[in-house]
Chains A and B, each alone.
Chain A
Amino acid sequence: MSVVEEHKLGDLDELLLRQVIEIWIQEGRPATRAFQPNSNDEGQLSSDRNSMVTPREAFEAYLAAGRKSSGVWAVTVGEYAAETVYAYGDPLPGNAAHALVDYSPYTAKDWRKISKKFHAHAVRRGRLFPAEEAA
C-alpha cells in the first residue's frame, strides 16, 4: 500500500492523468463519475503521473494492457490537495507512473461533492489525448 506520507506527491502542478471509458464521454464531455473511485476501489482513484508519462504514453499503455479508454483528462496534485484529497505514488509492475488519489477519508456523499470540483478542473483543461479537433 502506497498511501503513506513518504509517497505523497508534492509537486502541486503535476498533472495526474485519468483514463475515461467511452460510455462516460458524451460529445466530448466526460462524466463526473470518472473522477470518483468505484466502491470496490477502497476509495482510491487510479491515475498516471504526467511527470513520468505523457498522456499519449499513458493512453497507449492502458490499451496495451487490455483495458478500455477513449480519452485522457487530468487534475493536478494541487487541485486535489485544495480539497484535502492527497495523491500518492504507487508504482506497479509495468507501470512505474501509477499513482493513487486517496478519497478514503471521506464518505460516498463527500465524493459526490468533491468529484464535481475535480470534474470542473478537468473539463476546463480539456481532453489531453487524443487531442481535441484542431482549432
Chain B
Amino acid sequence: MTDVPNQQPQPEIVDDSDFVRVRFAGGRFDSHTIPFDVLPDLAAYRDLVVEVAKHLFRERNSDRQRVPKGFEESFQLGLSQVIQGNSATALAQRLETLEDQPAVDAQAGLGFPRYGEFEDARDLLDRVIAAANDDQPLPPEFPRELVGKFNRFGQSLRAGEHAELSHGRTAPVRYDSETRKRIVLSANATYENALDQRFTLTGGEIRSYIVHLADEDGTRFDLRVDSDEECEKAIARRRHQVRVVGAGLFDRQDRLTKITKYKELIYTDDEPQQALEDRLGEIARTPAGWYSGQNPAPDPSAITRMGELVALITTDAGVPMPYVYPLPDGSITGEWTRGDWEISAMVTLPYLAIELHALNVETDEELDVDIAQFDEHTLSAFSQFWNGMDSDTGGQ
C-alpha cells in the first residue's frame, strides 16, 4: 500500500541539487513506474513555476513591466532520474546556467543568469497546496489570476492517486485531484478535470463537426470532433450510447458543465435499450408469411434458445445485449457492432445449433465458430470467440 504520504524522504533520493522531487503513489503508480500519460503534468508544473516566478519578479521590480529577456528560458527543468521504490519518484533538476559553470565551459550551459524567483515560486506553490489541503485561504501573495493554471497540473491523476512534492529536506506536500479542485475553485466557478463519461448521441452538425450529446440527466452538450467522418458516424448512430474520453469543466458539485477536449469517442455501448424478453415477444408474435408470404413464423424453440444464449453471455461474460431479428426460414439471429467488427450469432434450424460469425469490415479478418450443442461448454466457446476480436484494434 502506498497511499500514505512519506513523512521522511527516502534516503536515496535526498539530493539538495534537485529542484523538485515528485513522488507518485496509489493506483497505476503501485506498479512502480510513471505512465507517459503523467508527463504532461510535470510540464504543467514547470509552466506553473514559471508563471509564478514572473509574477514574483514583477512584484520585486515594480519599475519593470516585463521580466528580463531570457528570464523564462533561464529556467529549464530536466527529469534527472526516476526511482522505483514503493511508488515512482521523478527527480527534476534545473539545467545548468551560466553562473553554475566554469568560464571555459560556459557554452555548454544555457547562458542565462540564474534567477532565484523560481525557487521562491516553488516554495510559494508548496504553501498554496498545503493551504488547500488544510482548507485554508490561499496565501495572499499568490496571484489569483494564476489559480486557473492549476487546471493542467495533475489532471491525469485518477481517483486514489496522488503526488508528493518535496525538495531538499522539506516535508513533502501532498497533491491530488481534490487539492487541485479546491485551488481552482477558490477563484473560479468551474475547474477542469479528466472526463470519461457515457452519453447518448442526439445528433450533430456535419459542417461544423459538432456532435450533440445528452448525459443521463438529459443535460445537453456539444462536442467538436476532428473530422466529418467522425461527425457523420456519430449522427448516424443517434440514440446510441458513447463514452467520451477527454477533459471537461466541472462545477463545485462535480457536475460537467462543458466538454473542453476529447481524445476518444468510444462506441462501446452499442446495444439496444429494449428488454430482451420484450424483443423476443415481438418476434414470437410475428406471423407466418411475414417475409415472403410463404415463409414460416419464427420458430419458438429458436426464440427460446436465443433467450438462453443471450442470458448466459450477457450475465456471465459481460457481453452487451445483441439486436435480435427473425430470419425468413424461422431461425433467429442476434447482432452486435463492436468497433470495426460486425458480429452475428444465429440459432439455426432444425437442431438449434449456434453459428457465430464476426467480420472486421476494415481488415476482412473473420472469425467463424459453430456451437453444435447448448451445454456447459457454450460459455467458454462463446467467450473465446468474443475475445478473439480483442487482439485487434477493432475490439474494445
List the one stretch of B47-55, B159-167, B182-190, B272-280 in contact with chain A.
Answer: B272-280
Minimum CB–CB distance from B269 to chain A (whole Å) comes to 13
* Contact yes or no, B323 A116, CB < 8 A: no
Given the known interface contacts A27-B239, A27-B274, A120-B337, the answer about A135 and B326 at a Cβ–Cβ threshold of 8 Å is no
Minimum CB–CB distance from A48 to chain B (whole Å) comes to 19
- Distance between Cα atoms of A38 and B335 in the complex (Å): 18
Cβ 8 A contact of B239, one of A23, A28, A112, A120: A28
- Distance between Cα atoms of A133 and B203 in the complex (Å): 8
- Find the residue from B202, B283, B290, B325 having the highest chain A CB count within 10 A: B325
| B238 proximal to A (CB < 8 A) | yes
Minimum CB–CB distance from A118 to chain B (whole Å) comes to 10
* Contact yes or no, B335 A32, CB < 8 A: yes
* Contact yes or no, A126 B235, CB < 8 A: yes
* Contact yes or no, A116 B359, CB < 8 A: yes
* Contact yes or no, A27 B323, CB < 8 A: yes
State which residues 207-252 of B face A: CB under 8 Å: 212, 232-233, 235-239
State which residues 287-329 of B face A: CB under 8 Å: 290-292, 294, 323-329
Given the known interface contacts A23-B290, A133-B203, the answer about A120 and B236 at a Cβ–Cβ threshold of 8 Å is no
Cβ 8 A contact of B236, one of A24, A123, A133: A123
- Distance between Cα atoms of A23 and B233 in the complex (Å): 24
Given the known interface contacts A113-B359, A124-B236, the answer about A23 and B282 at a Cβ–Cβ threshold of 8 Å is yes
| A40 proximal to B (CB < 8 A) | yes
- Find the residue from A116, A120, A134 having the highest chain B CB count within 10 A: A116
Minimum CB–CB distance from A92 to chain B (whole Å) comes to 17
State which residues 13-49 of A face B: CB under 8 Å: 21, 23-24, 26-29, 31-33, 38-40
- Distance between Cα atoms of A40 and B329 in the complex (Å): 11
Given the known interface contacts A26-B324, A31-B333, A135-B205, the answer about A40 and B292 at a Cβ–Cβ threshold of 8 Å is yes
Minimum CB–CB distance from A65 to chain B (whole Å) comes to 14
* Contact yes or no, A23 B238, CB < 8 A: no
List of B residues within 8 angstroms of A28 by Cβ: 238-239
- Distance between Cα atoms of A117 and B204 in the complex (Å): 25
Minimum CB–CB distance from A15 to chain B (whole Å) comes to 14
| B361 proximal to A (CB < 8 A) | yes
- Distance between Cα atoms of A123 and B294 in the complex (Å): 29
Minimum CB–CB distance from A91 to chain B (whole Å) comes to 22
**Chain A: CB-nearest residue to B282:** A23
**Chain B: CB-nearest residue to A125:** B236
Produce 1/0 per residue, B333-374, CB < 8 A to A.
101010000101000000000000101010000100000000
Given the known interface contacts A32-B335, A120-B342, the answer about A24 and B292 at a Cβ–Cβ threshold of 8 Å is no
List of A residues within 8 angstroms of B101 by Cβ: none
List of A residues within 8 angstroms of B337 by Cβ: 29, 120, 123
- Distance between Cα atoms of A86 and B306 in the complex (Å): 34
- Distance between Cα atoms of A29 and B212 in the complex (Å): 19
Minimum CB–CB distance from A40 to chain B (whole Å) comes to 6
Minimum CB–CB distance from B343 to chain A (whole Å) comes to 8
- Distance between Cα atoms of A13 and B361 in the complex (Å): 19
Which secondary structure dominates chain A's binding surface? helix
List of A residues within 8 angstroms of B328 by Cβ: 33, 38-39
List of A residues within 8 angstroms of B236 by Cβ: 123-126
State which residues 77-135 of A face B: CB under 8 Å: 112-113, 116-117, 119-120, 123-126, 132-135
- Distance between Cα atoms of A29 and B239 in the complex (Å): 10
* Contact yes or no, B274 A33, CB < 8 A: no
- Distance between Cα atoms of A112 and B282 in the complex (Å): 24
Minimum CB–CB distance from B203 to chain A (whole Å) comes to 3
- Distance between Cα atoms of A28 and B282 in the complex (Å): 15
| B286 proximal to A (CB < 8 A) | yes
- Distance between Cα atoms of A133 and B239 in the complex (Å): 9
* Contact yes or no, A133 B238, CB < 8 A: yes
- Find the residue from A32, A113, A125, A134 having the highest chain B CB count within 10 A: A32
Given the known interface contacts A32-B344, A117-B359, A120-B342, the answer about A27 and B238 at a Cβ–Cβ threshold of 8 Å is no
Which residues of A approach B to under 8 Å, CB–CB? 21, 23-24, 26-29, 31-33, 38-40, 112-113, 116-117, 119-120, 123-126, 132-135
| 4 shortest interchain CB distances as A-B pairs | A135-B203, A126-B236, A116-B342, A31-B325
Which residues of B approach A to under 8 Å, CB–CB? 202-205, 212, 232-233, 235-239, 272-274, 279, 282-283, 286, 290-292, 294, 323-329, 333, 335, 337, 342, 344, 357, 359, 361, 366
Q: List 20 A-B contacts (CB under 8 A).
A: A21-B290, A21-B291, A23-B286, A26-B279, A32-B335, A39-B328, A39-B329, A40-B292, A113-B357, A116-B357, A117-B361, A119-B342, A120-B342, A120-B361, A124-B232, A124-B236, A125-B236, A126-B238, A133-B203, A134-B203
